[in-house]
Amino acid sequence: MEYAVQPVEAAAGELRDPNVAPRNAGYGKAFCRAAFDSLHVAIGGSAKPCCEFKGEIGSLKETSLEELWHSESLKDLRAKMLRGERDAGCRKCYDAEDAGGVSLRDRYNAGDKLNGDFDEQTNLADPVLRTLDIRFSNLCNLSCRTCGPDASTKWYADAKRLNWWKLDTHALNETFTSKSAALEALGPALETIEGIYFAGGEPLLHEGHYAVLQDLIDRGRTDVRLNYNSNLTELRLGKLNVLPFWSKFRSISIGASIDGHQRQGELIREGLSWDKFAANVATLRQQCPHADIYFAITVSIFNILSLPLLCQHLRAIDPAGSAQFRFNLLLEPDHYNIQLLPGYMKADAARRLASFAEEFALQAQIRPVIDYMMFEDRSDQIERFRSNTLRLDEVRNQNTAKIIPELAPLLRESPPRKLKRLAKWRLRALAQALSR
Ligand SMILES: C[S@@+](CC[C@H](N)C(=O)[O-])C[C@H]1O[C@@H](n2cnc3c(N)ncnc32)[C@H](O)[C@@H]1O
Ligand code: SF4
C-alpha cells in the first residue's frame, strides 16, 4: 500500500485511537483528569499531577499527601484547567497533541490510567484522591539509551564516563528514607485509594513496592487496582517473588517495556536479555492468568524504522496474549525524537508503518505516531544524535550502525567530523575536571 506523506494539521480534534476517548470531550481544551483524581510522587518525593508535568506542587518529604492534595497550587491548576487555560507545566502534553500525537493527558482523560469512571459531582467540586502514581527510587538494573541517571542507578557510571554535567554525587535517589517511612507517608491514602501505578526505576526491584503490597493485603485492600511499567527482567527480589503477591489482587495491568527485538532490544535497553524477557512474559501468562499484560513501546529514533519487526517478534513470543501494544512517543531528549529523521527516512518509516498497521489492524494507534513524526522537521538534531550515539557506543563498546542498520546513514562520520567530535568531548572532559 502506498502512503502519501503529508504534514498534518495542528491540534487534530479527534483521536484515532479507539482506546482513547475523543479529545476534550466534556470539560474543555485544557482539562486533565490527572489533576482531579490522581497524584504523582516522583523519585525523590516531589509531587505533581502526573509524571509529564514540569515543576512540582510540593514535596512528600515535607508535606503530607493530604496537604498536597488540597494545596493552593493544585487548586489553582484545577481552576485554570476548568477555565480552559493551558498551564505551562502541562506543555509536553499540549505540544504532543498539537503535533497530532496521543498525550498522557489523552490517556488520563480516557480513563486509561486506572482511575475508573470520572464522577463529575464529586471530582470537580471536591476532588478525591483516587489513584497514586508512585516511584520509590531510581534503582534499576538496566540503562536504556533513552533513559538516564535520574531514573536509573545503572546509568550512573556511563554518565560519569560521558562527563555529564549536573550529575548527583550519589547514583541512588530514594523517595523515602525507609520502608516504614514510606508506609507512614502513604498509609492514610492506602485506606481509601482505588488504584496505584508503580514505575521507577524498576518497581519490581524495590522493597518499598513489596511493603505496600503487603500492607494492602493486611488491610484487606486487594481490590486496589495495580498498574505497572516494568522492564520485566526480574520477577523476584531476593526471597520476595512478585507472583504470589499479584495472585491476591483482583486487577493487575502490566506495561512490559520493550523497545526492540532481540539484539536491537538489548542495545536500546542495555542489560536486557531478550530471551529472559520472553521467558518472564510466558511465566506471567501461565502463573498469573488474570493479569492484563501489554507491551509498552517507547517510540524513538532507535526503533521507528523497525517497529513492525518488533511487533512481529512480540506476537511470536506471546501468542496467548495476541500481543497488545501501547506506543508511547518519546518527547525528550530532542536528539532521540522521531521528528529528527530526514524527510526521505520519514517517508520510508511512514510507508513501513502504514502497511504494518493495516496488516495488524493497528491503524488507530499507528496513525498518531506517523502524524507526530511528520509534524515538524527537527533534522537540526541529527548531529547531536550522531555524536551522542557514537560516544555512547564507544563507552559501551557497542555498534549501533551494525545492530540497527537502518540508522547507519545517520551515523556515518567523515574523518574531519570525527576529529571535531573527539575534540569536543575532550574539551568537555577538561572543563569538567577543572570545574571540580
Ligand atoms: C522510566 S521507565 C520506569 C519503569 C521501568 N523501569 C520500565 O522500564 O518500564 C517507564 C517507561 O518510560 C519509558 N521511557 C524511557 N525513556 C523514555 C523517554 N526518554 N521518554 C519517554 N519514555 C521513556 C520506558 O521505556 C518505560 O516504558
Ligand atoms: S528499565 Fe526503565 S528505569 Fe531502567 S533504564 Fe530502562 S527505562 Fe529507565
One digit per residue, the tens of pLDDT, for the chain of length 436 reads 322 222 223 233 344 454 555 666 667 789 998 999 899 999 999 999 999 999 999 999 899 999 999 999 999 999 999 889 999 999 999 999 999 988 999 888 887 655 566 666 666 778 889 999 999 999 999 999 999 999 999 999 999 999 887 788 899 999 999 999 999 999 999 999 999 999 989 999 999 999 999 999 999 999 999 999 999 999 999 999 999 999 999 999 999 999 999 999 999 999 999 999 999 999 999 999 999 999 999 999 999 999 999 999 999 999 876 668 999 999 999 999 999 999 999 999 999 999 999 998 999 999 999 999 999 999 999 999 999 999 999 999 999 999 999 999 999 987 777 788 778 777 877 777 777 6
Looking up residue 241, the CATH number of its domain turns out to be 3.20.20.70
Cβ neighbours of 172 (radius 10 Å): 12
Per the domain annotation, does 352 fall within a domain? no
* Mutation pick for ligand 1 pocket among 328, 340, 392 (CB with most ligand atoms within 8 Å): 328
Q: Which ligand is nearest to the CA of 104?
A: 1
Phi, psi (deg, nearest 5) at residue 412:
-70, 140
Specify the 3-state DSSP secondary structure of 325. Answer: strand
Q: Nearest residue CA, atom 8 of ligand 2?
A: 147
Q: Which ligand is nearest to the CA of 229?
A: 1
Per the domain annotation, does 79 fall within a domain? no
The whole-angstrom separation of Cα 99 and Cα 290 is 37
- pLDDT attached to residue 111: 77
Per the domain annotation, does 384 fall within a domain? no
- pLDDT attached to residue 322: 66
195 forms beta bridges with: 131, 225
- pLDDT attached to residue 26: 65
Determine the structural domain holding residue 148 and report its residue range. 130-334
| pTM of the full structure | 0.90
Closest of 410, 326, 311, 398 to residue 368, by C-alpha: 326
Q: Which is the closest atom of ligand 1 to the Cα of 147?
A: 16
Q: At what angle do helices 415-435 and 382-396 cross, to 10 degrees?
A: 70
Which three three-digit cell numbers place residue 196? 496505584
- pLDDT attached to residue 87: 96
Which three three-digit cell numbers place residue 434? 577543572
Per the domain annotation, does 434 fall within a domain? no
* Mutation pick for ligand 1 pocket among 107, 232, 257, 295 (CB with most ligand atoms within 8 Å): 257
Closest of 184, 49, 200, 26 to residue 113, by C-alpha: 49
Q: At what angle do helices 207-218 and 179-192 cross, to 10 degrees?
A: 40
Q: How long a stretch of residues is the chain? A: 436
**Cα–Cα distances in angstroms (integers) from residue 137 to residues 43, 177, 207, 290, in the given order:** 5, 10, 10, 28
Q: Which ligand is nearest to the CA of 159?
A: 2
**Count: domains in the chain:** 1
The alpha-helical segments, DSSP class H, found in 155-206 are: 156-161, 179-192
The whole-angstrom separation of Cα 434 and Cα 428 is 10
Per the domain annotation, does 198 fall within a domain? yes
Closest of 192, 197, 182, 184 to residue 34, by C-alpha: 197
- pLDDT attached to residue 21: 58
Per the domain annotation, does 137 fall within a domain? yes
- pLDDT attached to residue 113: 56
Q: Where are the beta strands (DSSP E) in 90-177?
A: 131-134, 143-144
The whole-angstrom separation of Cα 403 and Cα 17 is 31
Per the domain annotation, does 66 fall within a domain? no
The whole-angstrom separation of Cα 369 and Cα 254 is 22
Largest CA distance in the chain: 66
137 forms beta bridges with: 174
- pLDDT attached to residue 8: 28
Give the residue carrying C-alpha cell 550522531: 386
Q: Which is the closest atom of ligand 1 to the Cα of 259?
A: 25
Per the domain annotation, does 374 fall within a domain? no
Q: What Rg value do the Cα atoms of the chain yield, rounded? A: 22
Q: Which is the closest atom of ligand 1 to the Cα of 332?
A: 19
- pLDDT attached to residue 291: 95
226 forms beta bridges with: 196, 252
- pLDDT attached to residue 163: 86
146 lines ligand 1 (CB under 6 A): yes
- pLDDT attached to residue 237: 97
* Mutation pick for ligand 2 pocket among 269, 270, 392 (CB with most ligand atoms within 8 Å): 269
In this structure, what DSSP letter does residue 206 have? -
